[in-house]
Amino acid sequence: MLKHTVCGRFAPSPSGRMHLGNIFCALLAWLSARAQSGTMLLRIEDLDTSRCTEEKAQVLMDDLLWLGLDWDYGAAPGKPADEFYQSRRSGIYKKYFDMLAAQDLIYPCFCTRAELHAASAPHASDGHFVYPGTCRRLTAAQRAAKLAGAHKCAWRIKVPDETLTFNDLHYGTQSLNLAREWGDFIVRRSDGIYAYQLAVVIDDALMGVTEVIRGSDLLSSTLPQLYLYKLLGFTPPQFGHLPLLTAADGRRLAKRDMDLDMGALRSEFTPQQVLGQLAFLAGLLERPEAVTANELIPLFSWEKIPRNNITAVN
């Protein structure tokens, strides 16, 4: 795919019905691309096959199209899972994983979840753990003995004590220290599944994505991702993060807020009413009034979107 134009993407995980927070991000990713006459891609992020299903992916596509959020390439309604489903792409991820291994950039980690919990506190932004480097310090003999044993192992990438800087389309210059914020992060899980951080970078790069618009819960994930872009020799996209929608108590909306999932919204409102509400929350409309996705394109501007999280329900 040539990078002559803006290419945005939807990259949902079909682990449940989308809710207001998910479609807020989907709408703004779509508007940003369309306002620049760009294209949209839909990739199904179903690495976690215990929670994500093809049926849920089909419902998700139907929900996006009901809202009028279309895409130009990627997964297609009515078509079985194909190369735009991450669960079908492990052969591709393996190739890049092997490249990292050949450069001695990764190492096996035998730490259990309980050991990780004991060693460090969860990170405030999204609950990930900063890895203290325990298995990086194993001697070659210790590592070989553990690998030969029955242990399952995850694979982590060695990160330098380095500050990375990027310019977020919404939150401006971000400078974060990779070792302090993340430590050596996982590129393949102990169940053999390639980690989100690795898969998302490979996919966005190979699929020609030039713009990644998503919730600010993933702002700190941009750091490990940028590091992987560098190591794998890919050009990074532009990143733009969005405020999160919250309940009145400040809690982030989640899939368990059933009253705000697409099933409930579709039974009660028209697509234009849902879009009007989202556009109002995003600062694109002065009041929530029915509107189509296409009518919102000329109204899109990062300046109008709040930076703080947005209370979506009282």
Mark the segment that binds ligand GLU (CB under 6 A) among 7-15, 247-255, 276-284, 286-294: 7-15
Mark the segment that binds ligand GLU (CB under 6 A) among 8-16, 66-74, 91-99, 178-186: 8-16
Mark the segment that binds ligand GLU (CB under 6 A) among 6-14, 60-68, 245-253, 281-289: 6-14
Closer of 34 and 43 to ligand GLU (Cβ)? 43
Phi, psi torsion values for 261, nearest 5 degrees: -85, 170
Residue 121 burial by Cβ neighbours in a 10 Å radius (0-12, 13-18, 19+): exposed
Q: How far apart are CA 66 and CA 31, in angstroms?
A: 16
Q: How far apart are CA 245 and CA 243, in angstroms?
A: 7
Residues 194-213: x where in contact with ligand GLU by CB under 6 A, - otherwise, as a string: ------x-------------
Closest CB 218 distance from ligand GLU, rounded Å: 5
Residue 240 interacts with ligand GLU (CB under 6 A): yes or no:
no
Residue 13 interacts with ligand GLU (CB under 6 A): yes or no:
yes
Closest CB 172 distance from ligand GLU, rounded Å: 20
Instruction: Find the binder of ligand GLU among 6, 7, 8, 12 (CB under 6 A).
Output: 12
Closest CB 314 distance from ligand GLU, rounded Å: 25
- Give the tokens for residue 302: 């990062």
Residue 11 interacts with ligand GLU (CB under 6 A): yes or no:
yes
Closest CB 45 distance from ligand GLU, rounded Å: 4
Residue 261 interacts with ligand GLU (CB under 6 A): yes or no:
no
Number of residues that bind ligand GLU (CB under 6 A): 7
Residue 128 interacts with ligand GLU (CB under 6 A): yes or no:
no
Closest CB 139 distance from ligand GLU, rounded Å: 36
Residue 214 interacts with ligand GLU (CB under 6 A): yes or no:
yes
Closer of 216 and 277 to ligand GLU (Cβ)? 216
Closest CB 102 distance from ligand GLU, rounded Å: 26
Which residues inside 35-74 make contact with ligand GLU, applying CB under 6 A?
45
Q: How far apart are CA 202 and CA 234, in angstroms?
A: 8
Residue 220 interacts with ligand GLU (CB under 6 A): yes or no:
no
Closest CB 205 distance from ligand GLU, rounded Å: 13
Residues that bind ligand GLU (CB under 6 A): 11-13, 45, 200, 214, 218
